[in-house]
Amino acid sequence: MNINSWCAAVVVLSSLLVCPGYGNASETNSHIEKSMSDTLDLWREGRYEQLYEQLAHRGKTSRESFVKNMRDSSARPACCWQKMENFRILHEKSSEATVYVKIGLDDAPGAVRSMTREFKLTYQEGVWKMQLADILSIAGGTGKKASGSKRQSNKTYLYPGSN
């Protein structure tokens, strides 16, 4: 084997060792982010029965109770770029992930507020699922109170052009 062939083999082997791990992490990040985005879209569109099925269930909240609470809430995820910003995965295992993200919420016509906090997602049935209690909490329902994490902010921001 000449030196050129040896160098080419080293480069190929190095890329095979480094790239798969990086690609898989990036791919997982995008799957988690997309799952969360899709969940927020179901909520924004008012598809509460489907939203209920997309959530990891903790506690005894029935589908009927969940749908009623969501219909009674004035909060809805904002659209487009305001829906999710600064998405970061803080911790990930094969069946659980903790993310930190800023979620934009439309509560009243022309007013958009944001909530920045940690969310736990659970991998079930081939999909990353948000916690039902988190959705109820954001909507102002009877879900669990926001965790006592230092990484939490319920500040209201009005975005330019949102009069």
Lookup result for tokens 């699922």: 129
Higher pLDDT: 5 or 98? It is 98
Q: How many residues does the chain have?
A: 163
8 A C-beta contact, residue 138 and residue 106: no
Mean pLDDT, residues 5-12: 47
pTM greater than 0.75: no
In a domain, 71, yes or no: yes
Over the stretch 115-133, which tens digit does the pLDDT of each residue have? 999 999 999 999 999 999 9
Whole-number Å distance between alpha carbons of 39 and 77: 10
What backbone torsions phi and psi does residue 41 show, to the nearest 5 degrees? -65, -45
Lookup result for tokens 């992930």: 97
Over the stretch 77-97, which tens digit does the pLDDT of each residue have? 999 989 999 999 999 999 999
How many domains, in total, are found in the chain?
1
In a domain, 87, yes or no: yes
Over the stretch 24-45, which tens digit does the pLDDT of each residue have? 556 667 899 999 999 999 999 9
* CATH number, position 24: 3.10.450.100
In a domain, 151, yes or no: no
Which pLDDT value is given to residue 112? 79
DSSP state letter for 59 = S
**Range of the structural domain that residue 116 is part of:** 3-139
